[in-house]
Structure 1
Amino acid sequence: LGWPILYKIALGIARGLEYLHRGCNTRILHFDIKPHNILLDEDFCPKVSDFGLAKMCMKQESVVSMLGPRGTIGYIAPEIVCRNLGGVSHKSDVYSYGMMVLEMVGGRTNC
């Protein structure tokens, strides 16, 4: 795919995450942002899918509690695996998104 289409896909995913984190009445943390969970339509418009690991929380909550790690190796944020790095928040999805964009730009997988 060319750079304009990759940019459109990356921007669409970012807008989807922004909606999940800020646009809904209840904040939705996905916890498994990766290429396999992004669906593309015929116009390469991305749709975030697979909410099996997602967690809902109030918008006022900046940190959420978790019993165990969630996500896919290669995309999972460090604070999810190692608790002493800080609390788990919507920023964990942003980390996963960044890893995915890095793959898009580099043209290879990180796993």
Structure 2
Amino acid sequence: MPEHSNPSPVLGDYAIEIRSKNAGPFWVTMETFMKDSAGYAIAADESFLNEQVVADLYGVDAAQVQMFRIPALNVVKISFPRPVPQASLRDRDIHAGQHHVPLGALQVPDRHLPRGCV
């Protein structure tokens, strides 16, 4: 039987929920609800998750990405302009309900993992 190595952890592994939604017809908002302070420390670490990372994931201008770190709630909120206006001819996700998937699948490098997880 072939050996299977454990896959690299992703941001979603440390979250209760990661969701995306409309923030009006021209913006998308995503929220990461982390399980605990250790998960929040990963999501809030600007060397791991920052405006440029989000811009690269979603093909938007990093200068337009807004990030809000809320330690009391273990939440990181991210907003950026929709690639096309909501309900326009080219809109493929009218409710922005699937935009969170790439964020949840973002691999967490070993240096960002809590102690004992490597």
The two structures have a TM-score, normalised by structure 1, of 0.31
Higher helix share: 1
Q: Which has the higher contact order (CA 8 A, sep 6+)?
A: 2
The two structures have a TM-score, normalised by structure 2, of 0.30
